[in-house]
Amino acid sequence: MSKTQPRYVVGDIWDERIVMGHGSGGRKMHRLIARVFLKHFGNPVLRRLEDGARIGVKGRRLVMSTDSYVVQPLFFPGGDIGKLAVCGTVNDIAVMGAAPEHLSVGFIVREGVELDLIEKLCRSIGRTAKQAGVKVVAGDTKVIEKGDDEGVYINTTGIGTVRTRVKLGPEQVKAGDAILLNGSIGDHEAAVAVARGVFRFRARLASDCAPLAGLIQKLVSGPGVKMMRDPTRGGLATTLNEIAEATGLGLVLHEELVPISPAVRGVAELLGLEPLYMANEGKVIVVASPEAEKRLTKEMHKHVYGRKACRVGEVVAEPKGVWLRTAIGSLRRLIMLEGQQLPRIC
Amino acid sequence: MSKTQPRYVVGDIWDERIVMGHGSGGRKMHRLIARVFLKHFGNPVLRRLEDGARIGVKGRRLVMSTDSYVVQPLFFPGGDIGKLAVCGTVNDIAVMGAAPEHLSVGFIVREGVELDLIEKLCRSIGRTAKQAGVKVVAGDTKVIEKGDDEGVYINTTGIGTVRTRVKLGPEQVKAGDAILLNGSIGDHEAAVAVARGVFRFRARLASDCAPLAGLIQKLVSGPGVKMMRDPTRGGLATTLNEIAEATGLGLVLHEELVPISPAVRGVAELLGLEPLYMANEGKVIVVASPEAEKRLTKEMHKHVYGRKACRVGEVVAEPKGVWLRTAIGSLRRLIMLEGQQLPRIC
């Protein structure tokens, strides 16, 4: 099996039933979106398939984004489902160039869950929201019967305002642009895997789960950024594929430039996971003009969530798609995640 | 047991674990909101405890509202979880006096659910959204393991713009104002109960599930409306209690004026449910000035979702709280729903 491909490649098959892979962020989910959601909800805003929706409300440029969180276990090194639910949605808004401002929180909780646990999660949500600069303005709670998991699902939906004049979007990207990343990959998925207790050892691992709105607002305060995406479910390789599809260009990733911690490498090796497809919750891919590359990287280094920022590749006219330039110099195609790696990762 | 009280009165006890009643819309949920959510998320917008959040985005008056839907079964006479998910959120925005415009849809689906079913629900969502005048602009899908229910939960979050100049809110309500209702109560909960197959007979029942934005926008195009709420979970009696608390006034409901269909009465009697506490999904309580009462009722009669609109009671200075004036002329206090009637009703 190729080291850089996910484990379950199933080809372009249209499933008859929902499988775990439909929630993985990869190809199955993209097919579901294209064949069902766009068919019935289709409109120009949704069709852009971005992390959030650009909506104009009487002249104001707003961004709206929604995500549900079903991660197991609810608590893991570096975070919990509450912190994750704020970061994930806030980051989706931030990568659209908007400052997140308002957040709704919808709980689905199983009967029998301790109220102390709900309070712990609310404390985490409140703290993270404060750090991210968003206010929780609307909420909802539904209760379902006891079941087989820890029984807390959270939906957060956020609204932000576009404050920058920098034009962001796939149409801004050109061959020669640099691909920057604010740090190491795979930490979130590795931390959740370890928290499931599959190993006897305790790895030195923590999820990278963090609200990136502050960092990103600094990056877009001046020119240079062309487009951003956060590589969550499906990992760096899948999100780069989304960028390649949206821009119609090619992306070359340099294997030796991608920061991966030894602990993540170890967990990945043991579980047969590929770090390039592992989920992140505090990472942003920044496509930038070559002139702005140095300034933006320096700017990121100043921020607590960008200490290890670096260039990991570049945009090319040909070949189309996403390619990994390996340490020995060969080019290997990186496709979108098929199936899944770990289920219920966010 | 009093005919007008819910079945499980448990007093002011702070539970240690989540029970079904925390999702019922009644007193347990209100305690959870006050003791946990407001404590950790507290801000002036959330503290108003309205159906949606009034948020000012650079001068624009927006309303944001969120709800998750876990109804069982997924399909019932008069609707399905998809239609419900659009109506519920759209109506929460509409009762705030805003025109719903943008909607996000977040699916949590169990592994093994047929894609045909997801498509059916999406068709229903798309159709209802069109009818309600909202665009689905953002979406998300998460997959969880197979389990013990039909396995589809939906969160919708909506944004609307306040277009009316009519000032709405509890501070507008005065003694002497009329309480209007756009039709009969209990239909949604009765239809869901029957769809669960607890009866051998097939009752002539359908959920009232409907998007009310059109009707409500007509009502607030002129003066007269003081405040609106949709009596969903917890029913008419619980929502009237919310109005009484928010206004600090008393509300008198006239038993013989409240429209209840014979089929709903029959189901309620058989299941030991109290119609005044049964959930509705296409009803709006309109508190109106006495001068506007006739005009507003007439306006509602013209609309397909207001054919049976009528006055059901009035606002009084004393006694505070919610009171039922029975057919024989006695006054009986109506408290907020304690515990629950049917679980997973929306």
**A282-300: pLDDT as tens digits:** 999 999 999 999 999 999 9
pLDDT for A341 equals: 82
- pLDDT, mean over chain B: 92
Q: Is B19 near chain A, with CB under 8 Å?
A: yes
Q: What φ, ψ does residue B17 adopt, rounded to 5°?
A: -130, 160
Q: Is A44 near chain B, with CB under 8 Å?
A: no
Q: How many CA atoms lie within 13 A of B25 on its CB side?
A: 29
Q: Helices in chain A by DSSP H: which ranges? A: 27-32, 38-41, 44-47, 81-94, 115-132, 187-195, 213-219, 235-247, 262-271, 293-301
| DSSP letter, residue B171 | G
Question: How far is B97 from A234, CA to CA, in rounded Å?
Answer: 41
pLDDT for B58 equals: 64
pLDDT for B2 equals: 41
Q: Which residues of A touch B17 (CB under 8 A)?
A: 111-115
Average pLDDT, stretch B222-232? 97
| Class (C level, CATH) for B51-162 | alpha beta
**Tokens 């029975």 label which residue?**
B326
Q: Nearest 5°: CA angle at A52, between A46 and A56?
A: 75
- The secondary structure element, H or E, covering residue B122 is helix B115-132
A104 → chain B, closest CA residue: B66
- How far are the Cα atoms of A18, A135, B59, B289, B337 from residue B104, in angstroms, in the given order? 21, 18, 23, 35, 30
Residue B139 in contact with residue A41, Cβ under 8 Å? Answer: yes
Q: Is B137 near chain A, with CB under 8 Å?
A: yes
Low-confidence residues in chain A, pLDDT < 70: 1-13, 58-59, 200-203
CB-nearest partner of A57 from B32, B60, B116? B60
Is the pLDDT at B289 greater than 80? The verdict is: yes
pLDDT for A50 equals: 87
- Cβ-based neighbours of B131, under 8 Å, separated by 6 or more: B211
pLDDT for B202 equals: 66
The residues pairing with A136 across neighbouring beta strands, listed in sequence order, are A103
pLDDT for A15 equals: 82
By three-state DSSP, how is residue B3 classified?
coil
> Which segment of A199-203, B245-249, B250-254, B340-344 scores lowest on mean pLDDT?
A199-203
CB-nearest partner of B138 from A66, A109, A140? A66
Average pLDDT, stretch B335-339? 86
* Residue B127 tokens, joined: 């159709």
Omega of the bond leading into B73 within 30 degrees of 0 (cis): yes
CB-nearest partner of A155 from B68, B159, B346? B68
Q: Which residues of B touch A135 (CB under 8 A)?
A: 41, 43, 45-46
Interface test with B, best of A33, A62, A66, A232 (most B CBs within 10 A): A66
Give the residue among A61, A66, A26, A33 at the shortest CA–CA distance from A48: A33
Question: How far is A204 from B304, CA to CA, in rounded Å?
Answer: 63
Q: Nearest 5°: CA angle at A84, between A78 and A88?
A: 130
What are the sequence ranges of the domains in chain A? 1-42, 51-162, 170-333
Distance from CA of A48 to the nearest CA of B (A): 10
* Number of neighbouring beta carbons within 10 Å of residue A256: 8
Q: What φ, ψ does residue A84 adopt, rounded to 5°?
A: -60, -40
Is the pLDDT at B1 greater than 70? The verdict is: no
Question: How far is B296 from B178, CA to CA, in rounded Å?
Answer: 11
The domain covering A170-333 belongs, at the CATH homologous superfamily level, to PurM-like C-terminal domain (3.90.650.10)
Is the pLDDT at B10 greater than 50? The verdict is: no
Q: Is B126 near chain A, with CB under 8 Å?
A: yes
Question: How far is A295 from A304, CA to CA, in rounded Å?
Answer: 16
Average pLDDT, stretch B319-329? 95
**Confidence at B59, pLDDT banded by 50, 70, 90:** low
* Residue A84 tokens, joined: 């994750």
Omega of the bond leading into A343 within 30 degrees of 0 (cis): no
**For the whole prediction, is pTM greater than 0.90?**
yes
Q: Which residues of A touch B53 (CB under 8 A)?
A: 102, 104, 137-138
Distance from CA of A138 to the nearest CA of B (A): 6
Q: Is A271 near chain B, with CB under 8 Å?
A: no
pLDDT for B259 equals: 98
**Confidence at B3, pLDDT banded by 50, 70, 90:** very low
Q: Is B17 near chain A, with CB under 8 Å?
A: yes
B151: left (phi over 0), alpha (psi -120 to 50) or beta: left
* ipTM for the predicted complex: 0.93
pLDDT > 70: percent of chain B: 94
Interface test with A, best of B66, B130, B135 (most A CBs within 10 A): B66
pLDDT for B163 equals: 87
pLDDT for A201 equals: 66
Is the pLDDT at B12 greater than 70? The verdict is: no
